[in-house]
Amino acid sequence: MERIIIIRYCEIHLKGKNRNYFESLLEKNIRKSLSDTECTIERAQSRYLVKNFKEADYPSIKDKLGKVAGIHSLSLGYEVKTDEKEISDCAKFIMKDKQGTFKVETNRADKKYPKNSIEISRDIGGDILESNPMLTVNVTAPEHICNIDLREDGNTYLFADTVKGIGGMPVGSSGKGTIMISGGIDSPVAAFMMAKRGMKLVAVHFHSFPYTGEAAKQKVIDLTKIVSGYAGEIDLHVVPFTHIQEAIHEKCPEEMMITLMRRFMFRIAERISEKVGSQALITGESLGQVASQTIESITTSNAVVKMPVLRPLIGFDKLEIIEISRKIGTYETSILPYEDCCTVFLPKYPLIRPKPERVIEAESKLDVEPLIEEALKNVQVIKLG
Ligand code: ATP
Ligand code: MG
């Protein structure tokens, strides 16, 4: 009887070559997340098994694996040879300190085993009842479930609890995207959502020193670091944005400030992406949340870039976004007070439905290209994760 952690992934969409690629990437990411933990990792049929770990390390292993995209669920359990006595002894051991109601649930991938899953559940359930008088059977709403999983390779796993992973696809399986990250609640969540779908991330932050100070920058560094717990290493590009804001402020109508700023942000983020091999921009926008997130505003900022702009939160309500940000651990940092580069020059009445012709006309007063080049020359890259 050997102590194991069973790692499961979602296999429905995995076929042929795709499957191999997915599995090796997931294995690499699992190994990386447990690189500081004493343990061994094995690939089994449609599962990974962690073995040779210290029992006391389980909570930290669970936390680490809980951040690996592609993991569907995990269970702490035991592995035995597929043999009736071994299975029965292990099941009795797992259930020995439990009281209340229980049932046995059997999954038999090993079709050579002489009993079917219903017979196994019934017989092992009988053994457990005999050995632990504190338990009674309840098949509809049991307090405890003893799971028995007979694998094709002659081994059986037994476990009594399962925790959910974050699901999704292993990071690295869906290309590379550039998260435009502010110090707010939304963009770190957007970054997490894309990492969960398998994207490697690069981050770009626009900083308006001295209007926004070191603390605001540190906050973005801290948020990016938390996201890197899910996404792996992230290079954070901090772009000086002050001159661009000052130029817009000086030469363009006040109500266009945000619209024009966002067009600069998109252009610069696209240039950085092209340089580092990133294939898409990612923002934390949610439709209608603020003036700059109406469909008209989105259209005017999209118009200046060719890359796809992914907006994983577009259909989410603020409360739904907050719930995810609490789960992934960015909320507490996001709500720390700070000055946002967008609030410094905030107009009293920002345009809610900017007209493309008017935006282009306003922008013609600016030396767009030199401003972009100057900002790009002074980018600071911070490696995180
Ligand atoms: P967030 O909570 O992510 O700050 P928000 O609700 O404040 O979003 P906006 O200020 O309109 O919304 O920003 C929309 C999106 O634009 C952000 O989610 C982010 O992707 C990007 N963005 C805004 N400010 C910056 C910045 N200073 N640097 C980089 N990206 C930014
Ligand atoms: Mg914001």
Q: How far is the CA of 259 from the centre of ligand 1 (A)?
A: 12
Q: Ligand 1 pocket, 292 CB below 6 A?
A: yes
Which of 179, 180, 182 most suits a substitution to test ligand 1, by most atoms within 8 Å of the C-beta? 182
- Measured from the CA of 284, which atom of ligand 1 is nearest? 18
- Give, for ligand 1, the residue of 187, 245, 324 to mutate: max count of ligand atoms closer than 8 Å to Cβ: 187
> What are the helix and strand counts (H, E) for the chain?
14, 15
Q: Which ligand is nearest to the CA of 241?
A: 1
pTM of the model: 0.93
Residue 375 neighbours by CB distance under 10 Å: 22
Return the residue matching tokens 């560094």: 221
pLDDT in tens, the chain (385 residues): 999 999 999 766 666 777 888 899 999 999 999 999 999 999 998 899 999 999 999 999 999 999 999 999 999 999 999 999 999 999 999 999 999 999 999 999 989 999 999 999 999 999 999 999 999 999 999 999 999 999 999 999 999 989 999 999 999 999 999 999 999 999 999 999 999 999 999 999 999 988 888 999 999 999 999 999 999 999 999 999 999 999 999 999 999 999 999 999 999 999 999 999 999 999 999 998 777 789 999 999 999 999 999 999 999 999 999 999 999 999 999 999 876 666 667 777 788 888 999 999 999 999 999 999 999 999 999 999 9
- Residue type, position 188, single letter: P
Ligand nearest to the CA of residue 283, numbered in listed order: 1
Whole-angstrom CA distances from 238 to 91, 204, 231, 265, 370 are 55, 6, 19, 12, 18
29's enclosing H/E stretch is helix 16-33
Q: Is the CB of 186 under 6 A from ligand 1?
A: yes
pLDDT at 90: 98
Which tokens go with 183?
């110090």
- 206 CB within 6 A, ligand 1: yes
Q: What is the DSSP letter of 112?
A: T
Ligand 1 atom closest to 283 (CA): 20
